[in-house]
Structure 1
Amino acid sequence: MENASEFPKFECAISNTKEEYDSEVESFFTELASLESDIGLLMLSDLKWKENYQKILGYITDLETSIIFKRGVPDTEFIRSLVKGEDPQDEIADILIRAKDYVPALLIRAQSRTRDVMTLFVRMSRIPRFSGGFTKERFEGLLPLRKALFRRAVEVSRK
């Protein structure tokens, strides 16, 4: 029986252990859900890229499933196709200043959140009971995703 002064715990599907709600794994999936929400807002706000955002959501869902059930690696070909060529050198403030609507700000937030997901992913890979789900192969689509969102912010801000 759990101590009455202890906070409740959740059953973690990755490690098959009871985890605290302040655990890194909970933070990772909370941040991933926030990224999905950001992409959902973009899907409704940046209609020219709606189909791309739908595919990005599919990728994130595949990543989540892959991590939890340790099956397969999500296909990153589509994400990588969005980042061909030179990386833009624009500063975030410049993008936001020249923006004519809120879409570039949403994109900057989503790419920043992707960076947070990347940070938490690497931390999770170092924890033995979670490392089987958080592998380098599963990580590989996150950097191109962040770059794609930043490139789109630059592109939209220049219109």
Structure 2
Amino acid sequence: MGDPYIKERPKKLATPAHSPSLEASQNELYAQIDAICWRDFDTAYKAPESVPLDLKLLMFGDQKQALNASHRLWCGLCHQHAYMSSAAEPALPFLMLVLFESGDLVRVEVLDILLGFVRCQRPDLNFTQRVLRAIRERRPEIEKFKESSNDEVASFAESVCEALDENRAQQGAALDG
């Protein structure tokens, strides 16, 4: 299956960027994204080449572009919280950066993607375990969002932390059994 969003994905960034704090690092972050060999990974749509542009739109586009990009990333990287693609692993550091540097509307969407990553664990796929470990390492920072004045941010942060707890309990039960 090809990229179902190819016609709706803009080719250039709208301004102003929704997250001005990231703009100073734009060239460096572009270089980091472009250095990844995305064709070595997959998405739910088998079209990993779309991930770099969506990450750039998520970080540097205006709010509408960022929200649309987050939806496409959610669909491709953790398809309906049922499947985690291998492209999730190289995308994760950029998603975490957006989580901590964006406003609440975009933050909710990134937390939803992280929730999908935590829920889509497959012990037989090493990349899912590495993604889970990386999210666990950032848990103290994610937990701070549980105190957000934005109810959706607080709720999604709570859900991510609960899913991490459930995942750890399941892994413990598997080791015991």
TM-score over 0.5 (shorter chain): no
Which structure's CA Rg is the greater one?
1
TM-score, normalised by the number of residues in structure 2? 0.30
Greater relative contact order structure (CA < 8 Å, 6+ sep)? 1
* Structure richer in helix, relative to its length: 2
